[in-house]
Amino acid sequence: MALISIIEDFHPLANEKLLSRAEQLTPPLRHSILEPIGGFQLKERYSPEKQEIVLRQLPHLSMGKGENLCLDFGEHLVGYLTLELSYTGSHPDAPAFLKLKFAETFQELSENSQDYDGWLSRSWIQEEYIHVDLLPSTLVLPRRYAFRYLKITMMDTSPKYKLIVRHAECRTESSADWTGLRPLQSGDEQLDRIHAVSLKTLANCMQEEFEDGPKRDRRLWVGDLRLMALTNAISFRNFDLVKRCLYLFGGSRFPDGRVSANVFTKPTVEGDDTFLFDYALLYTVTLEEYLQDTGEPEALDDLYDIAMQQVEYALRQLDSTGVVGAEAVKDAFIDWCDELDKSACASAVLLYALRYARRLARRRNDWSQANYLLQQHDALRKAAMERFWSEEQGCFVSNGQISAASQVWMVLADVCSPEQALRAMAKTLSLAEGPRMSTPYMHHYYVMALLRVGLRKEAEEHLRYYWGSMLDAGADTFWECWDPEHPERSPYGGSVVNSYCHAWSCTPAYIIEKYLLK
């Protein structure tokens, strides 16, 4: 199910003061030049079988029609490609017709994009068809790519010559500053590796804003921002970038004040016409956590009213029983899972956000608002327990459905007693049926809920199982969606558009440092 909306003639509300401040906070981008560390040829066009080559042979390897060359840059990169091309044989009497395929994982190299028939645009697939009229020449691609592997296929040429790739390099781009950031050396090889890949994932998504993924969608989403900000706080500590993103969301909103689910920043800043109920509430959470990290007053003064608008809008969506109504529930993301009943989750996320909103109100000395929010919190908490808690089942039941997601968000929202919360999370450990969690986004909150009820051992085991299995599957950066039991799963109708460096999967480093090393 696509959680998108199309509003004709949509005109977001622009706040020039906030947008100007966001522009001032634009970070400088850092660059480096990286070359491939290895290469190989695929035996067939879409075959996973490969034949290794020695890179020093590269200037002498020639490609005729139908032949390919794959370059391995050794790690996940975000940047711009340059190729130095030449030829062997007679003078070229026809253009070289090339296909360039950029792949974040080795498996992508053998995928045929023509087989894709999903609901996301195939324009996200990182493939280029290029005619090179003159050889020798230097080919500088203007588009930014996210990749580790580059597959060059000679689609057609003249019998009189063959193509040679003399040199290849990528000019990488990120606003992350690795200076002074040392690798974790905990003595546990797996945790250290998970920590390192988490930070690599975050760094490659740190551009002029926190992108959700450098391959796709290349823009700022509220749910991703919250998780990136948590990991940023224990690593790169670029709090100006967090602040910039908060101002971007505040600077371009729905006409009624709601925060868009995501924001476009080029060619101009424009909030998307997609609204997600839970994401908007996480804006309030992220602002309060930013203030906890920095204590600076400007963001509180500028963004307080916007943060409160998100909570007040959500409170207007309660139904006659006192929980979030069905129409608002439809706008909740929670996880990529069509089978998931999100009613309990939506009410829990609102309760979770109310806790942070009350902190904001107290920070602002807005005591009447703080008292009002407390009253709303207590009323919603009572209604949620009456509607969703089953003493017989020992867990939360959302319209007849028992899911891990419902237990997770109700526990994180402190809806029930500590004893009931422990029972609910113990229930998730034995769930054999029901909707499965499908994204690192949901798995992050699952681990956090386990930690909240004191199941530290189980939380660490799950982190090792989930993110560790991505490493076992060849991850250089952590992925957008992953089910260890169904590796080919995609919410988009085809894995060829999946993102294999995705912001919401970067939090293991935060969890490890904050909770597992103590």
Domain ranges across the chain: 31-174
Please identify, in words, the CATH class of the domain defined by 31-174: mainly beta
Q: In angstroms, how far apart are the furthest CA atoms of the chain?
A: 83
β-sheet bridge partners, residue 421: none
List of residues 6+ apart from 394 with CB closer than 8 A: 420, 423, 424, 426, 427
Pick from 277, 278, 287: nearest CA to 249:
287
The phi, psi pair for 210, rounded to 5°, reads -80, 105
Cβ-in-10-Å burial (0-12, 13-18, 19+) of 180 comes to exposed
Look up residue 332 and give its amino acid.
A
Q: What does DSSP assign to residue 514? A: I
Residue 8: the pLDDT is 84
The phi, psi pair for 323, rounded to 5°, reads -115, 175
How far is the C-alpha of 202 from the C-alpha of 510, rounded, in Å?
11
Through-space distance between the first and last CA atoms of the chain, rounded to whole angstroms: 40
User: In a structure prediction context, what are the per-residue pLDDT tens digits for the chain, which is 518 residues long?
Assistant: 446 678 888 999 999 999 999 999 999 999 999 999 999 988 877 777 788 887 888 888 899 999 999 999 999 999 999 999 999 999 999 999 999 999 999 999 989 999 999 999 999 999 999 999 999 999 999 999 999 999 999 999 999 999 999 999 999 999 999 998 999 999 999 999 999 999 999 999 999 999 999 999 999 999 999 999 999 999 999 999 999 999 999 999 999 999 999 999 999 999 999 999 999 999 999 999 999 999 999 999 999 999 999 999 999 999 999 999 999 999 999 999 999 999 999 999 999 999 999 999 999 999 999 999 999 999 999 999 999 999 999 999 999 999 999 999 999 999 999 999 999 999 999 998 889 999 999 999 999 999 999 999 999 999 999 999 999 999 999 999 999 998 888 999 999 999 999 999 999 999 999 999 97
β-sheet bridge partners, residue 10: none
How far is the C-alpha of 54 from the C-alpha of 38, rounded, in Å?
7
Would you say 73 and 35 are in contact if contact means Cβ atoms under 8 Å apart?
yes
Per-position DSSP letters for 21-88, written without gaps between them = HHHHTPPPPEEEEE--SEEEEESSTT-S-EEEE-GGGGGG-EE-TT-EEEEEEEEEEEEEEEEEEEEE
Distance of CA 509 to the CA centre of its chain: 15
Token pair of 111 as six digits: 């995928």
Q: Determine the number of helices (DSSP H) and then strands (DSSP E) in the chain.
A: 14, 17
Q: Whole-prediction pTM value?
A: 0.96
How far is the C-alpha of 146 from the C-alpha of 125, rounded, in Å?
11
Residue 241: the pLDDT is 98
- The H-or-E segment that residue 34 falls in is strand 30-34
How far is the C-alpha of 96 from the C-alpha of 153, rounded, in Å?
10
Would you say 154 and 131 are in contact if contact means Cβ atoms under 8 Å apart?
no
Would you say 452 and 417 are in contact if contact means Cβ atoms under 8 Å apart?
no
Token pair of 514 as six digits: 């904050």
Residue 397: the pLDDT is 98
Q: What does DSSP assign to residue 488? A: T
Please identify which residue in the block is written with the tokens 């029901």: 434
Residue 4: the pLDDT is 67
β-sheet bridge partners, residue 156: 97
